[in-house]
A and B are shown apart, each in its own frame.
Chain A
Amino acid sequence: MHPSFDNAALRCEGTSIRLLASQCSRCENISFPCRERCAKCYAPASQIELAESGTVLSHCTAAFPIAGVQPPVTIAQVRIGDADIEILGVSTGPVRIGDVVSVVPRTASTEDALFTTYGFEKESRDA
């Protein structure tokens, strides 16, 4: 697997990925991406892993290339697990509001390098 596009947002191990965040030691707020201090109150925070799936809150479809993907490109807004965190990213196929999607690896590239990033894929069971 290629290196993570952002080590504070995504951990890559073997063939699997995990979205990273941090939980505040004082107010318990979860910040994404992971940071040393809480994004809400600036108290020290410690790293956590986010759930591997979530629920689609909204979606749209671009008729032009976005994020290195050829059109039509579906972008989904996903509430991850039970956390009050919403992750936005490319979905490999069409989705509807309420669908359950998995966080899946995706490849991003620049002219001279390849990176692993994340995307979404609709789970076979319905929400």
Chain B
Amino acid sequence: MREVYISGVGMTPFVSKTTTLPHVQGGQALNAALEDSGLDWAEIGLLVVGAVGTGMSSAPLVLHEMAWTGIPAVAVENASATGTAAFEQARAAVASGQVDTAAVVGIGSLGALLMSRAAEGERAPDLISVSGMAVPAVPFALMKQARMHRHGESADTSLLVVEKNLFNASRNPMAQRNKALTMDELKAAPMLVDPLRRVESCPIGDGAAAVVITSRRLANVSRVVRVAAAVAETDKWHGAAAFMPDLGVTKRVSARAYEQADIRPDSVDVVEVHEAFSVEELQYIEDLGLAAEGKASFAMADGDFHIGGRVAVSPSGGLIGRGHPGGATGLSQFVEITQQIRGQSGVRQHDGARVGFAQMIGAGGVSYAHILVGED
């Protein structure tokens, strides 16, 4: 397999709602990524579109926003991990030598899809509906309650994640939420599914993100970004599999990613995770080996995971602050980490960022881990 490099990144601002069609947003993000790479569109050999909740023919529609060059184009879907799944398809095509250069785009609104499904009318009851699991916050409220019992965390502990991520998002012009909140304001927020407050869940929104990947080290920036590890798995069978995600999968994919990249957790500088709900970030920090089990909140309170701390976690604002449109979410992690490694993150720059980790899950469930390394 050949080395693969991220040569260009781009995204649209994430917003709660837009009338701009998904494939048009995709074209805007892709144009930004192409300009960032310095490549000509004619050099792109493959387009993979991560599309969630969009109609038919998403891939050619995005292609035609650029130019009808006749290259192969395909759309993939993997719930919250749709953009990451698209990245994986393109990365494998470049690594295997099938193409030298590929473009990846994430589009579509997961929230809009869930809302339209809820409005489909009454369906016959099934295990998901009778158990309450049709509400995405429920399994994560159960995860939070179990952590509180196991580690002695309070109901306010995971608000540390929200405070940090909203602060980061308030300084990210691409973020959907742009207002930082104090701990006192967060503690006064209403419960959604007790012990999970409404402010602890990510917003529903829309937006697009894109990445251009190549087999060559381009000279468009001072520091190239190499994909040092790429791991994908699905959930394994577990006792609560009829209802809940596999809580062991993130540990498995991250261990494999560290081994593949030959990198230890203490070398990681910037991390983006799937914290659709606050408590997930505490869990994934521990699963990624960045804190001992049950200790993530203490390290977070000490500032370890803030920009400028030991390792910056969710410097973009994460799903809670930057937003979680669906198709674009996973790719926006690659945008953030690439810009951090290049030193292009402005007021959010984590000084000395060289190694980044992107973790993503999707309902069903699917799981991904990627490690990106900057090379001078």
Contacts and interface: CB of A to CB of B under 8 A. Distances in A.
Interface of A: 5-6, 9, 29, 31-33, 39-40, 57-63, 66-67, 72-73, 75, 77, 79, 83-90, 97, 106, 108, 110-111, 113, 115, 117-118
Contacts of A118: 130
Q: Which of B127, B134, B142, B190 has the most CB of A within 10 A?
A: B127
Given A33-B127, A110-B122, A115-B125, A97 B149 contact: yes
A67 B123 contact: no
Contacts of B135: 62, 66
B376 interface: no
27 contacts: A5-B125, A6-B125, A32-B242, A40-B237, A58-B142, A58-B149, A59-B142, A60-B144, A60-B145, A60-B194, A61-B191, A63-B190, A63-B191, A63-B194, A66-B135, A67-B129, A67-B130, A67-B131, A67-B134, A75-B141, A75-B142, A75-B193, A88-B133, A90-B132, A97-B149, A108-B125, A108-B130
B130 A60 contact: no
Interface in B92-150: 122-127, 129-135, 138, 141-146, 149
A110 B239 CA distance: 29
Interface in B181-195: 190-195
Interface residues of B, number: 35
B133 to A, nearest CB: 6
A63 B192 contact: yes
B140 to A, nearest CB: 9
B237 A39 contact: yes
Interface of B: 122-127, 129-135, 138, 141-146, 149, 190-196, 237, 239-244
A17 B257 CA distance: 46
Contacts of A110: 122-125
B139 to A, nearest CB: 8
Contacts of A63: 190-194
Given A57-B146, A88-B133, A110-B122, A62 B239 contact: no
Nearest to B241: A39
Contact of B195 (A33, A60, A84): A60
A53 B4 CA distance: 53
A107 B148 CA distance: 32
Q: Is the interface of A mostly helix, strand, loop or mixed?
A: strand
Contacts of B129: 67, 108
Given A57-B146, A62-B193, A111 B130 contact: no
Nearest to B135: A66
Contacts of B132: 62, 66-67, 73, 75, 88-90
Contact of B146 (A29, A58, A84, A89): A58
Contacts of B144: 60
B142, B190, B192, B244: residue with the most chain A Cβ atoms closer than 10 Å: B142
Nearest to A29: B237
- Name the residue among A60, A62, A63 with the largest chain B CB count within 10 angstroms: A60
Contact of A59 (B145, B191, B241): B145
A95 to B, nearest CB: 11
Top 10 A-B pairs, shortest CB-CB distance = A60-B141, A86-B240, A108-B125, A58-B146, A40-B237, A61-B194, A75-B132, A58-B142, A88-B243, A88-B131
Nearest to A62: B193
A108 B124 CA distance: 9
Contacts of B131: 67, 75, 87-90
Contacts of A9: 127
Contacts of B194: 60-63, 72
B200 to A, nearest CB: 12
